[in-house]
Amino acid sequence: MDLSKRDLMFIGNPPLDTARQNMAVAGARLGSMTPGVPDGEVMDRRMWIAALAWRVFDSPPDIETLQRPRSIGGAERIQPQSPDEMWRFKVKDGVDHVAWAPTGWRLGYGKDAINSYAIFDGLKKQGIIPADARFQVSIPLADSAIDAVFRTPFSSWRVLSSYP
């Protein structure tokens, strides 16, 4: 079958505990209706772009952290448990541009995809995921990641993609 004619496209994963569970559920139940089965998105990637908050936005010196997930029993958490404790940031007052360090090593999407692909391949070989399904890695667009966690309009700032 022509994969481009399938009716469904995943934009995330079920909120299950492991990549194997997510891919097995998505692939077994909906794999024949979609061209790709998502990569699992577990642990700190479980809640969409929350992982980018602590991996990218919480450390640059020109960014101020306004809100972070509540600690439990004194233990710091990086993963919000609900939308009301989502990370929030702003560019510090007086800063006219933010210089971002190269962040590929911090994003983790490549590493996670490599790890998940072995699971995906195994599920295909077992017949749980359809043989013609493709492996899908979903990466959030920059504007959705920024708009979700910055209170001030980020578009008003001159943003550099790397160190000057």
54 near 87, Cβ under 8 Å?
A: yes
Q: Rounded mean pLDDT of the chain?
A: 75
Q: Is 59 among the domain residues?
A: yes
Question: Which of 55-59, 72-76, 123-127 bottoms out in mean pLDDT, i.e. has the lowest?
Answer: 55-59
Alpha helix locations (H) across 11-108? 19-30, 50-52, 104-107
Q: Is 44 among the domain residues?
A: yes
Per DSSP, the three-state class of 67 is: strand
Q: Give 90-138 pLDDT, tens digit per residue.
A: 889 888 888 776 655 667 777 778 888 999 899 999 998 888 888 888 7
Task: List the domain range (segments joined by +) for residue 146.
Answer: 3-158
- Residue count of the chain: 164
Higher pLDDT, 55 or 67: 67
Q: Is 124 among the domain residues?
A: yes
Structural domains in the chain (count): 1
57 near 78, Cβ under 8 Å?
A: no
Q: Is 164 among the domain residues?
A: no
Q: Whole-angstrom Cα distance, residue 110 to residue 99?
A: 23
Higher pLDDT, 51 or 106: 51
Sorting pLDDT into bands at 50, 70 and 90, what band is 12?
low
Higher pLDDT, 42 or 91: 91
Q: Whole-angstrom Cα distance, residue 56 to residue 107?
A: 7
The pair of structure tokens assigned to 124 is 């295909």
Q: What is the pTM of this model?
A: 0.65
**Nearest by Cα to 138 from 37, 56, 23, 34:** 37
Q: Is 126 among the domain residues?
A: yes
Higher pLDDT, 78 or 70: 70
Q: For tokens 């070989």, what's the residue?
A: 125
pLDDT at residue 3, as a whole number: 52
The DSSP code for 75 is B
Q: Is 106 among the domain residues?
A: yes
| Average pLDDT of the residues in 10-36 | 74
pLDDT at residue 145, as a whole number: 73
Q: Is 133 among the domain residues?
A: yes
Q: Is 163 among the domain residues?
A: no
Residue 68 CB coordination number (10 Å): 18
Q: For tokens 């399938």, what's the residue?
A: 6
